[in-house]
Chain A
Amino acid sequence: MSDEVTNSMSELSHSPRLDAKVPAGRLQEKWDAYKDAVSLVNPANKRSHNILVVGSGLAGASAAATLAGLGYNVKCFCIQDSARRAHSIAAQGGINAAKNYPNDGDTIWRLFYDTIKGGDYRSREANVYRLAQVSNNIIDQAVAQGVPFAREYGGVLANRSFGGAQVSRTFYARGQTGQQLLLGAYQALSHQIAAGRVTMLPRREMLDLVVANDRARGIITRNLVTGELERHAGDAVLLCTGGYGNAYYLSTNAKNSNVTAAWRCYKRGAFFANPCYTQIHPTCIPVSGDYQSKLTLMSESLRNDGRVWVPKDPTDTRAPEAIPEDARDYYLERRYPSFGNLVPRDVASRAAKKECDAGRGVGETRLAVYLDFDAAIRRLGSSTIQDRYGNLFEMYERITGDDPYRTPMRIYPAVHYTMGGLWVDYELQSTIPGLFVLGEANFSDHGANRLGASALMQGLADGYFVIPYTLGAYMAGIRQSESISESHEAFTATEEEAGARIDRLLNNKGDKSPTQFHRELGQLLWNHVGMARDHAGLEEAVSSIESLRDEFWERIRVPGSADRFNKNLEFAGRIADFIELGSLMAQDALRREESCGGHFREEYQNSEGEAVRNDENFADVAAWEHTDRRPVLHLEKLSFENVHPTTRSYK
């Protein structure tokens, strides 16, 4: 393939390497047909199969618990000190399901349709439909585990509308839905740990994938306490390692969220799909200074009652309360009269950027807009507002020192979620047989933009209800005699390579810290591969990242040694991979000559500044293959047999 790189990559046809294995038949019957036909694994054989689950977030914990419950031998790894701390825990808003408890007309079809439309028609129909189908089972499962979802006075589950959906299909547990769902999965995992069916290995970082005879055979991990490199052989590897938003340095992701495990798989032959699709969340607390280490999300639900505005006059530096109504520009209400403040995330984010670029930003950095509750407080009373958003207001005050009951919040968009990820087929299997990818780490269900309350749904759908079936299809086809032991030469070679990378980092003794490089990379990506991208900027990003990569290996300084707890060594290894990923993100963004979802190209907008999609040339998944020279593009052409791509309009 590498020799066939063409100038106009969009003219590539569907790659034979990308067989999505979508079952035949009507969309509504595909999953059932698949389950009817899939091979089952003999219970006695399950016990002799070792499954490695990397990551313990919603996808990882739910998969590990479920597979162990089925009888597989599971090893589960996480980088945190406890499986309970995976970053799924930070999800606030809720989880969607097509239960239709409020009887407001929701159906599986509608959830499917909203998700595929919200993703700007860049996802695979069959995967998304299956996601909507199993969404209801997730809620049942979570309730049975003791997840304390919000309830109505009659004792039934409460629902709310989220992210501008026209039905109330979001289940929630205060502003801590991710935490509660993760604790449910973690408890199920703990149950299996106690039963001896899962071996939990916390404080382990996956440094490489072991591939032999074209199959995933195991992983190399680093024990983050002792520094030891460890070999783990398995019949299948499930990568549940989350997204790569931290490439931007500042994001709402946790400090330890990283791309390394996925990137190592990419370098071993797994294709990386749609890396340019990143979601920028509009309501985050703005950056306050150079020391800023992360950004904090304020739930999207705030836009239900808050009004977004900036001063009309860029030179108006009065306190927000002192600015009269007629000197304010409620730009979302002005530009999108029918959706107003409730336009989807990507639209709201770009609009904020546009105001700030025009010099109307507020606050010390001028990179913020106001989110004002004054009208809502006057209309509903401050006690109602407190009931709805009390904990968010408190959090805002704790971080900024400002009281949102009295003065408008200042918000700004921040990187939040990455829709791209390792390419997987309908079975969640990557292009390396035996390597499965679940949750945010894969590219599969959200297309170019993810709807609110869908991330939790996807992580748990993959782990609880999809992989238990699709893994069986793979396991039934492998023979025990094919397993390789941890002393196999593939393990030796891969471990040596991982060790050599660590040595190289430590022995470099340069003069710049890992964090300094991370900030620089983040700034580059934010400026050029952020909310709005253009050809020149992306080309500049590719070349700047190239030089940053060279500088990194020349000047990196990692303190301490390899044989101990060493956070900066962890960071350095991850940043090296983020730099390489950053380049691929820019190249992918450069190739996608259209605007869709989280990917907005300045060149492709209409006269009103709205995104213009190009379905004729870009209704595809861009899956990149690593080679020693440059990444090679493969396309999975998307066909829409059940929905007809339309232009999203929120006017």
Chain B
Amino acid sequence: MAKNMTINLRIWRQKSPETPGKLVDYTVSNASEHMSFLELLDVLNEQLIASEDDPVEFDSDCREGICGSCGVMVAGIAHGPQQRTAVCQLHMRSFKDGDTITVEPFRARAFPIVRDLVVDRSAFDRIIAAHGYVSVKTGSAPDANAIPISKDAAEEAMDFAACIGCGACVAACPNGSASLFTAAKIEHLALLPQGQVEASQRAVAMVDQMEAEGFGDCSNYAECEAVCPKGISVSGIASMRRAYMKGVFSK
């Protein structure tokens, strides 16, 4: 049978971007090791509704680690202690009965808090809109096999394309940099012939937008790679810089 656990939570509560927030203590005494961390929060919220308290707001959607909606700091680590796992797939068996877990929102100036653990990550959408695409309209595509792409290139592009846009990289970065997110998209497209046409201007536009959004500098800590649910490599950041400088000098 599944073990019953008591978990103490210290959760960041904040009503709006303007009002100051604070950590509030809660206890869930009927947790199970088979629960996901978000299910623990669900149970807590049911408890809070029953006692006429305000439930904790947090984003979540697919709960299978692919949509990138969820993301909180669990015990000081973005998405919690298990690597390569979004918090929706973090299970309570990673914790011990009686543990006290601090839960905070992803923090960055570019990710303003909406409420409690919910943050606004629209800065990422604006980075993609800056040029995170191939400029091709519907209907103008040649046959899919017209341009051969080596298996290795396709696989490597896929490694970067796997980014779920959750923002853990920003949250974990001591500097609050969005370099891994930005680089992942630049690299995904730069590795494919379809994306190479606009590769340098894409890199310049996206890096400039990243700067405009108020993200911090990258100090090559690689903390982002360690917390990335998809394990995206910081080697992409190196390539992004190459593409950026090429974009500048080839002008």
Contact = CB atoms under 8 A, between A and B. Distances in A.
* In-complex A–B contact (CB below 8 Å): yes
Interface of A: 62, 65-66, 69, 80-85, 87, 89-90, 99, 101, 137, 139-146, 148-157, 173-174, 176, 179-180, 183, 186-188, 190-191, 193-194, 200, 202, 225, 252, 254-256, 288-289, 291-294, 296-297, 364, 395, 398-401, 464-465, 468, 513, 515-516, 557, 559-560, 564-568
Interface residues of B, number: 83
A148 B82 CA distance: 28
Query: Of B115, B131, B136, which is in contact with the most chain A CB atoms at under 10 Å from its CB?
Result: B136
Contacts, number: 229
A255 B60 contact: yes
Q: Is the interface of B mostly helix, strand, loop or mixed?
A: loop
Interface in B125-163: 125, 128-145, 148-151, 154-155, 157-158, 161-162
A141 B46 contact: no
Given A85-B61, A176-B162, A291-B43, A144 B140 contact: yes
A398 B85 contact: yes
Given A80-B69, A187-B128, 8 more contacts: A82-B165, A85-B69, A144-B140, A145-B134, A148-B192, A190-B132, A194-B130, A399-B89
A289 B34 contact: yes
A288 B34 contact: yes
Given A154-B148, A398-B85, A567-B57, A557 B67 contact: no
A125 B42 CA distance: 45
Contacts of A146: 133-134, 157, 161, 188-189, 192, 194-195
A400 B122 CA distance: 33
B49 interface: yes
Contacts of B64: 90, 252, 294, 296-297, 395
Given A80-B61, A568-B49, A156 B89 contact: no
A191 B131 CA distance: 7
A399 B63 CA distance: 11
Given A140-B142, A144-B142, A176-B162, A254 B150 contact: no
A294 B42 CA distance: 12
B138 A69 contact: yes
Interface of B: 1-2, 15-16, 32-36, 38-40, 42-43, 45-46, 48-50, 52-55, 57, 59-69, 82, 85, 89, 91, 93, 114-115, 118, 120-122, 124-125, 128-145, 148-151, 154-155, 157-158, 161-162, 164-165, 188-189, 192, 194-195
A254 B67 contact: yes
Given A154-B148, A155-B151, A293-B39, A87 B2 contact: no
Contacts of A190: 125, 128-129, 132-133
A565 B122 contact: no
Contacts of B194: 143-146
A148 B141 contact: no
A194 to B, nearest CB: 4
Q: Which 3 A-B pairs have the closest CB atoms?
A: A155-B148, A144-B141, A187-B133
B129 A194 contact: yes
A459 to B, nearest CB: 14
A513 B50 contact: yes
Nearest to A191: B133
Nearest to B194: A146
Query: Of A151, A400, A516, which is in contact with the most chain B CB atoms at under 10 Å from its CB?
Result: A151
A139 B133 contact: no
A228 B64 CA distance: 31
Query: Of A69, A174, A193, A398, which is in contact with the most chain B CB atoms at under 10 Å from its CB?
Result: A398
Nearest to A180: B161
B125 A84 contact: yes
A152 B154 CA distance: 10
27 contacts: A66-B137, A81-B121, A84-B125, A87-B67, A101-B145, A145-B133, A145-B136, A145-B194, A146-B192, A149-B144, A149-B154, A151-B151, A155-B148, A173-B158, A179-B66, A179-B162, A180-B158, A254-B62, A254-B67, A255-B60, A288-B32, A291-B43, A293-B42, A364-B1, A559-B52, A559-B55, A564-B15
A257 B122 CA distance: 21
Nearest to A144: B141
A296 B64 CA distance: 6
B120 A152 contact: no
A513 B154 contact: no
Nearest to B166: A85
A398 B161 contact: no
Contacts of A89: 62, 66-67
